[in-house]
A and B are shown apart, each in its own frame.
Chain A
């Protein structure tokens, strides 16, 4: 009787932990991540948290830091890059962790797939061997088990005739198939997080849709968190729950995907949305954001977007950029002086 009671207590405690524990603690937490190449800053203080099973989109134009964030987090940048800040995976600091530890994290807990699948696979090794390599590194399988698992993985990512294709080389696959192989290789280590760095940029439009669907389906099946890096707003808003917009090494807006198109807050996000061609209505000239991303040598002191912004006011040039919530909703934040002052005004009114 007593025994049963104890069991019940233990179960209850367990349930409590299940309900609170993992949710309270972020799977991955990045704080003030900064990267500089040869003294030139590229990433200027990124803060983000990623929860288990979540899907996060990161958008921005080339050089805004969306890929560098993750390469830095995994220690994949060259020696020339100076990385500071903190990247914690379930509480464990990854930045400057020993190589042996990082090798376990890479592929085992955080996997990454890249932009051009044809060149991200080693041309002289059979795809089967490349998948098996990952399996043996992270799942401690003997060769035969690994071979069977590799076949299952290829099957899972939708490569027909998987058993035979294991023996083929990357050049014998199409671009879309190579990206499927990359995804299979990423899944091999059963990671908690999959970083997809512009996974469809190098592919045909029809293949793009298939690969995105595959990513979504695999995320559903495995429950891993997905970070989708892209410059395609449509793709990101469709796949992800949460979207971060980056500009000049800063996060300038963080928004639930379903509000991205309806309520963009940052002038840069609005500019990106305005630049999208519309499918219906009369044909019109495409809108572009005037100006170019400032280069590192002449980087603005205040808001990095100020020189191109149509809502620029005097104070923008000396304002230390920070994210502020919109309408008190912590899920939607933007780093714009106007948003900050509106929030302040709101507080005043509320008070």
Chain B
């Protein structure tokens, strides 16, 4: 058990290191922050002074070593736009994004999983076809298209909700539904196929042959096995809680982490972009680690694999 967790942690740090390095190199290779941030009429001496002030005049590897050293000491740098600590700029956006993604996740789970299970149990019926048709639409239509359609329908034609911005719960409704439907469609498809796979297993027929009523076969024998597969996709969705809303936030001008990322990349606000990527990577890795531990709880075969004998 201890060894398993140790290995996972080592791997987690390695992953974060790769993300940090990659972000550092790509950001600096893709454009000069001084030119992006300052207006074109800025005199050459002022641009030079800006570069010196932010350490951009040093060779790349010196900048990188300095950056790594600072990160290890908990210093993620300052935003070039307003001079505040990057971590503070990022941290204040996280709850704003969660305000959309947390309810959306609940919507995903509450619609997607039951719909998928229902479709699997009623395989090839009209209900199954309907559920899958809706799911395919929800699955293939990109979230920004869905978002724009919703704005057109429920903000412009029927002025029930604001078309963007934040402040009241009215602002939350459309983005949450946009995020929720797409995720629910993915989950419905996944739950259905996981359930069908399990329902075809010999132990389901064996449970029926033993005299277990069908409802208990589904609840007691099929669902716990299907849950193992569904957990994978749920884990991915939880990992996306923080980062997966860039498009929807842009469509609804929601002032969350996604909007911040777009603005910061456009203006080459290096420290902030790097900080966001670090936070997102850490969230993903934490979720994956949790999911791995949950697998062990759901599946005794993996438990033994990871943790030795009970």
Contact surface of A with B, Cβ cutoff 8 Å: 71, 74, 76, 99-100, 103-108, 111-112, 114-116, 119-125, 133-134, 137-138, 169, 171-172, 182, 185-186, 189
Contact = CB atoms under 8 A, between A and B. Distances in A.
Contact of B211 (A103, A114, A119, A124): A103
Contacts of A123: 203, 225, 299-301
Given A76-B205, A119-B202, A123-B225, A185 B210 contact: yes
A121 B211 contact: no
B101 to A, nearest CB: 30
Nearest to A107: B211
B91 to A, nearest CB: 40
Contacts of A186: 210
Contacts of A172: 304
B208 interface: yes
A23 B106 CA distance: 63
27 contacts: A76-B205, A76-B208, A76-B209, A99-B214, A104-B211, A105-B211, A107-B209, A107-B211, A111-B209, A111-B210, A112-B209, A114-B202, A114-B209, A115-B202, A120-B202, A121-B203, A121-B206, A122-B221, A123-B299, A124-B228, A124-B300, A125-B221, A125-B224, A133-B212, A137-B212, A185-B210, A186-B210
B298 interface: yes
Contacts of A125: 221, 224
Q: Which of B206, B224, B228, B298 has the most CB of A within 10 A?
A: B206
Nearest to A108: B211
A101 B207 CA distance: 16
B39 interface: no
A93 B210 CA distance: 19
Contact of A169 (B228, B298, B301): B301
A185 B212 CA distance: 12
Given A124-B225, A124-B300, A106 B203 contact: no
Q: Which of B205, B221, B299 has the most CB of A within 10 A?
A: B205
Q: Which of B203, B228, B301 has the most CB of A within 10 A?
A: B203
Interface string B205-237: 111111111100000110011001000000000
Contact of A122 (B203, B209, B211, B214): B203
Given A122-B221, A123-B300, A124-B300, A137 B211 contact: yes
B298 A124 contact: yes
Contacts of A74: 209
A64 B295 CA distance: 41
A253 B167 CA distance: 82
Interface in B16-56: none
Given A134-B210, A134-B211, 17 more contacts: A74-B209, A100-B213, A106-B208, A106-B210, A107-B212, A114-B209, A116-B202, A121-B206, A122-B221, A125-B224, A133-B210, A133-B220, A171-B300, A182-B206, A185-B210, A186-B210, A189-B211
B168 interface: no
A74 B202 CA distance: 15
Nearest to B211: A107
B140 interface: no
Contact of B207 (A119, A122, A169): A122
A100 B211 CA distance: 9
Given A124-B225, A124-B298, A114 B206 contact: yes
